[in-house]
């Protein structure tokens, strides 16, 4: 059972990595948006209080794994910056997700971050 979950998780990560490597911004960002959506309860309501739940942290870990190269980090960064611009009232909650989940995306989630300089 645990091995099946591990294999499914790897397939999901590889599938997401392939999708996000597409040339269209909409394709890239739909994947990032879908992963951040796993954290919607925390982003919208601050629950489960005071930290996001396991599904959210699995999504953040997947996002961190996707952002393993400079090109991918920049793509993920652009998408996340679009999200915090779109969901401005929830920008702080989105920015805290990686830290609460103990992962690094390789850039700071902040409206002033210039994704072109993310390495």
Report the pLDDT value the prediction gives residue 27, as an integer from 0 to 100: 60
**Which has the higher per-residue pLDDT, 116 or 89?**
116
Contact 99, 50 (CB under 8 A): no
Tell me, what's the pLDDT at 53?
A: 87
pLDDT higher than 50, residue 22: no
For residue 35, with 0-12 CB atoms within 10 Å meaning exposed, 13-18 middle and 19 or more buried, which class applies? Answer: buried
Looking at residues 38-62, what average pLDDT do you find? 86
Please give the pLDDT value at position 21. Answer: 45
Tell whether the model's pLDDT for residue 49 goes beyond 70: no
């Amino acid at each position: 059972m645990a091995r099946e979950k591990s294999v499914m998780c790897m397939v999901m990560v590889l599938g997401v990595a392939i999708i996000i490597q597409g040339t269209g911004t909409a394709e890239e960002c739909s994947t990032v948006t879908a992963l951040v959506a796993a954290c919607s309860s925390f982003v919208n309501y601050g629950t489960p209080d005071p930290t996001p739940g396991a599904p959210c942290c699995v999504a953040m870990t997947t996002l961190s794994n996707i952002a393993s190269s400079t090109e991918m980090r920049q793509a993920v960064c652009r998408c996340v910056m679009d999200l915090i611009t779109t969901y401005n009232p929830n920008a702080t909650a989105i920015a805290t997700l990686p830290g609460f989940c103990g992962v690094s995306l390789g850039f700071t989630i902040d409206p002033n971050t210039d994704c072109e300089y993310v390495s």
